[in-house]
Every structure is written in structure tokens, then in C-alpha cells.
Amino acid sequence: MWWKKGIALFSALLLVLALSGCDGDSGTATVRVQGRVTDNQGYGSAQGASKQTAPTLQATVEGAIVTAARVQGNGSLQPLDGQVQTDASGNFTLEVAAQTGDVLMLRAEKDNFRSAVLVTVNVAGGGTVRAMPMTAESKAEAEVYGAVREQDDNAREDAEDATPAQVSAYVTADLAAQLQAGGITTAQVAAALQQAARAEAAFVNRTGASLEALAQARQRQQAAWLNLQQALHAAGSAQAEAEAMTAFEQAFVEAYAEAGISAEARAKLLQTARLAVTHLAASGNATARLALRKQAEILSALATSAAIEAAFEAEGATQARMDSLRQARVQWLASLRTAASTSAIEQARAQYSSVVEAALAASLGISTEALANVKASLQTAVNALQMALSIAGSATAVAEASVSFYSSAESTINSSLQGNARAGLAATVLALLSVS
């Protein structure tokens, strides 16, 4: 299809994903890879970003043998010469022959201990690459990414495929624990993330948005992941790790804006990705599915709240109102990060929505009861969305359901508020709040 070809062409812009060209020796040089092997579950503290549950900085592993392999386009691993043993602090420096753009999987072994981490070579003509510390979380990310590549039908990463950045954004310490315990498989997680990436691509296609912009967003997400790689390497405390993870999540979402995608459009993209993860990831136990869904909810919430704040700001909202919306966003994200059930996720969204809807009613100059009637008019569109999602068997079907919902919901709201100068604000806000 023409749009798939377009995505593939634009994906050539990606900084670090040219895996199909990594098999040769052109540009190969000796690269020093520095890292640390730990036996912890994840990064940061329980009070930090969503991906963190470990209360302290990682406990290091001495005497582990570290090797490297190049991740090929089809997910197979090409072992690289060289190995090194970690020192008393778990640190290592491994020299390998690699080139810029290579995605390497570093593996550590000691007795029954196994760990791994992905690292992207971002230096030309040799140099030093700093990997994030190995944890159970990094091991899960590395293995899931390998499974992503195995599932790709053309052995070439494009905007329809999950990238290392997307894998890192969605795979949490909690999900890693479920992978370790057998609650879900790497193949099942990889399939879910592939569906999320493909839903985004299909949404772009269905809305006539820029395929080039989506490819550029992927590129910028990869750059954010490279920054995370270095930040976690340098982190000297659990708090620093947590801050690095939070910054990465924010940069991952803002990558769409940096690529020229509007706040509203990126909110819809990440809501669509969330719907794909939620409705197509039926495999694995309930705990594993919850861990995956929660991170999808967090990324979606970051984009949705930003779009809602941008919409209010464009309408000239007061500073007090903007402060209230920002406080509601902070509380929403905090509640999502600690949510231990689907009902807790839904309650967090409902609490955020109540604050936004009160602000919306005031902006429209109508009562909260009148706004409730406007919101009730969306029920037909909401029901149609839920029905479509219940039978959706592909990312394309999810994207089509999403596009149809936004169009129907916005039209309904504009009709209900015909004559109100801020009907457009209501259409944007209520449509985004109604996707559950």
C-alpha cells in the first residue's frame, strides 16, 4: 500500500534504526561500551516515575561475564568478539567492533544470574558508549525488542514497528517481574507494542496527517532514549534515576510536538495506541495486562492533559484556571502511577475529568448540569466506539474506530453547543475525555 511505502521511505530519516544496513563492515570501528551490572528489578524509587519500584540504587554484581551481540533486522543476534568481567562495583568496559546506528544487546552471566541491556552506538569512528545499568527491567526491554524484530514481516524497522524507545517507554519494572514469573511472554508483550505502533501509523493514514512527521517523531523518541541511556548511566542515586525516567516519558510524548504534530493530534495518537494495547493485548495474566495498560495510560494522560491545557490556553483561560488544570494533571499522573487495579485507573481519570469539566462549564458560561447534558449526548458515539473495539482484531480496526469516534463526538458537541463561541473548546476537551 502507498502509505506503507511512504512510512518506510520516511523511516530512513531515523537516527538509529537502520538495522537492515548493520550487517556489513562499512564504518566499523572499535567502540568502548561502559556499563554496570546489577541484580535489581528496575530504576529509581517507589516515589519516582512510573517505571520504578525498587527503593534503592541497584545492588551491583561482581564477576559477571559481559558479552555483546548486534541485533539484526530479523531479531537474530550476531555475536561480537570480546568479553569482560565486571569489577567489585559491577562496572565494565567492553571493546567491540561496531558502527554508528548499531543496536547492541549486552548480556551478563554469572552462575545462575542472567541479565541484559540494549545500547545504541551513537559515536562515529570509535569512541565510548555509555549503557544504562543492567536490571531485570533492562533485560525485559532487550528481550522484548528482540521479539519485536522477530515478528516484523520485512526485517526492516519502520514507523509501523515498535522501536527501542517505545519498548523502553512501555516496559516497566512491574511488567519485567511478570515476564520473570511467567505471567506473560516476551512475544506477547512484543505483539502488544507492535499493535500500538501500528495503530498510530494507521491513525495517521486515516486522518491524512503527515507520514514524515510521524517518522520524525520516532526519530526524536530515539534521541530521547539515547539521552535516557546516558542519564541512567550517570545517575548516582535512586532519585536521579527516577527523575531520568520521568524526563524520558515527557520527552517521548513531546517528540510528536517537536515533529510538528499538534497537541490535539498527539493526544489522539497516544489514546489510539492505548486503546490498541488495552483491547488487543488479551494474552498474559491480569497482573501483567494491568502493568502494560498502566504505562499506556500514563503516556496517554501526559499527551491528553497537555492537549487540554493547550486548548484552554488558546481560549485565553485565566492563570488561576490554568493552575487548576495543571494541578489536576499532576494528581492524575500520581494516581495512575500508584494504581493497583483497573478501577483505580478509571477513578483517576474520573477525578481529573471532573476538574476539567468544571473549568469547561465556566469557560462556556453554562451550568455544570447543562454541560452534563452535552456530555450525555456523546453516549451514542461512546457506545459505537466500545462496540467497534470489542470486535476489533487489528491495529487498523482500532485506529478506524478511534478516528470515527473523534469525528462523531466533535460533530455532536458542536451541534449541541451551536451558537456558543467556545463550542470548539468543548468539542476538543470532551472528545478527549470520553475515550476510556
Residue-wise DSSP of 245-301: HHHHHHHHHHHHHHTT--HHHHHHHHHHHHHHHHHH---S-HHHHHHHHHHHHHHHH
pLDDT at 44: 78
Question: Would you say 227 and 300 are in contact if contact means Cβ atoms under 8 Å apart?
Answer: no
Instruction: Give the count of beta carbons closer than 10 Å to the beta carbon of residue 153.
Output: 7
Extract the C-alpha cell encoding 46.
517507589
Between vectors from CA 357 to CA 353 and to CA 358, what angle results, nearest 5°? 120
Extract the C-alpha cell encoding 334.
500520581
Instruction: Give the count of beta carbons closer than 10 Å to the beta carbon of residue 160.
Output: 22
Query: Hey, which residues does 77 pair with through a beta bridge?
Result: 71
Residues of the chain short of pLDDT 70, as ranges, are 1-26, 45-58, 155-159, 282
pLDDT at 299: 97
pLDDT at 434: 96
Q: What pLDDT, in 10s, does the model give residues 102-127? A: 999 999 999 999 999 999 998 877 79
pLDDT at 24: 43
- Alpha carbons within 13 angstroms on the beta-carbon side of residue 175 total 31
H or E stretch including 376?
helix 368-376
pLDDT at 225: 95
pLDDT at 341: 96
Extract the C-alpha cell encoding 89.
562495583
